[in-house]
């Protein structure tokens, strides 16, 4: 599957107005981005939302970042995938993730074993593993991603993580990080947008542990330090964002999906940023 070098990760394309999402997806495809990634962590009708985006586009890959395996059964997702017409099935990439203890509750435990068992059932139901990837942050989940799926789709990481993912999974495996980008040349305003985007995730241990493995401290996380914000998010003009994408690629990433951080300005603002970025990223 050809994801292209750069894709788009977007909450608005799943949770925004459906008509706007359809036209937005078609424009992203026309701009030349290789894939559209949408979140699935809260569950809901993820397959219906994927159907909507597949119908609105012709050739672009439609991917999940991610399907929450606590919210869906393997047989359910596999049956949906296998029922797709060939021309749509061939452009679906299903990212899978174990979510977070604070979200799932007391049943959340042994995430690697849980994911391995889910993959067993998914494969047994007929799902081709080359069209799946894992939201792998830590070394053990990266190992599982490399052994069982096309590769990894990590979220809220730095280029150093892309290098680690490549080293652990080896050549020929997908490294497709999400990269938050703030296209704003005013440093204070850009940091404020990045800080707002990070607030929810600072409460989730999986991300905090990932950032500490990458060299950030508890103080960085508690205070949303400049080091953390500038490490996790690419901020500034289009060239600064392009430089960060190149860092990921130089570190071993095959595909970088950019998420435009606009301070809640909506899909129209995201599309405006994506038009500018297309000139330097594609």
* Residue 82 CA neighbour count, 13 Å, CB half: 14
Q: What is the pLDDT of residue 106?
A: 73
Mean pLDDT rounded to a whole number for the chain: 96
Q: Strand runs (DSSP E) across 41-103, as ranges?
A: 61-68, 92-97
pLDDT over 70, % of the chain: 98
Q: Would you tell me how many other CB atoms lie within 10 Å of the CB of residue 280? A: 15
Integer angstrom CA distances of residue 52 from 23, 103, 207, 250: 11, 27, 30, 34
pLDDT confidence of residue 104: 72
Least confident of 34-48, 51-65, 67-81, 161-175: 34-48
* pTM (predicted TM-score): 0.96
Identify the burial level of 60 via C-beta atoms within 10 angstroms of its C-beta, where 0-12 means exposed, 13-18 middle and 19 or more buried.
Answer: buried
User: What pLDDT digit, counting tens, does each position of 177-207 carry?
Assistant: 999 999 999 999 999 999 999 998 999 999 9
Burial 131-144 (b: 16+ CB within 10 A, else e): bbbbbbbbeebbeb
Check pLDDT > 90 for residue 83. yes
Domains along the chain with CATH numbers = 6-281 (3.20.20.30)
How confident is the model over 206-264, as pLDDT tens digits? 999 999 999 999 999 999 999 999 999 999 999 999 999 999 999 999 999 999 999 99
Decide if 259 contacts 9 (C-beta within 8 A): yes
Residues 6+ apart with CB under 8 A from 264: 196
Q: What is the pLDDT of residue 103?
A: 67
Computed from CA positions of residues 210, 128, 12, 185, in that sequence, does the dihedral angle turn out positive or negative? Answer: positive
Q: What is the pLDDT of residues 144-162, one digit of tens each?
A: 999 999 999 999 999 999 9
Could you tell me which residues are beta bridge partners of residue 233? 180
């Amino acid at each position: 599957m050809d994801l292209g070098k750069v894709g788009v990760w977007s909450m608005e394309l799943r949770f925004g107005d459906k008509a706007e999402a359809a036209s937005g997806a078609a424009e992203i495809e026309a701009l030349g981005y290789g894939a559209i990634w949408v979140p699935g962590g809260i569950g809901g009708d993820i397959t219906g939302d994927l159907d909507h985006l597949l119908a609105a586009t012709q050739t672009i890959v439609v991917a999940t970042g991610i399907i929450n395996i606590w919210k869906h059964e393997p047989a359910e997702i596999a049956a949906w995938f296998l029922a797709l017409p060939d021309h749509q099935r061939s452009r679906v990439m299903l990212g899978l993730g174990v979510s977070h203890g604070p979200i799932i509750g007391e049943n959340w435990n042994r995430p690697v074993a849980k994911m391995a068992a889910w993959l067993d059932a998914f494969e047994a139901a007929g799902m081709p593993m080359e069209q799946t990837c894992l939201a792998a942050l830590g070394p053990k989940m990266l190992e599982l991603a490399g052994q069982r799926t096309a590769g990894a789709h990590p979220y809220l990481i730095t280029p150093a993580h892309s290098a680690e993912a490549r080293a652990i999974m080896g050549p020929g495996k997908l490294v497709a990080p999400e990269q938050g980008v703030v296209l704003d040349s005013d440093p204070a305003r850009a940091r404020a947008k990045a800080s707002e985007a990070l607030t929810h995730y600072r409460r989730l241990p999986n991300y905090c542990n990932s950032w500490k493995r990458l060299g950030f401290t508890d103080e960085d996380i508690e205070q949303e330090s400049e080091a953390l914000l500038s490490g996790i998010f690419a901020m500034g003009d289009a060239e600064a964002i392009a430089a960060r994408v190149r860092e990921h690629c130089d570190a071993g990433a095959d595909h970088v999906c950019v998420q435009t951080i606009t301070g809640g300005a909506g899909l129209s603002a995201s599309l405006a940023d994506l038009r500018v970025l297309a000139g330097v990223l594609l």
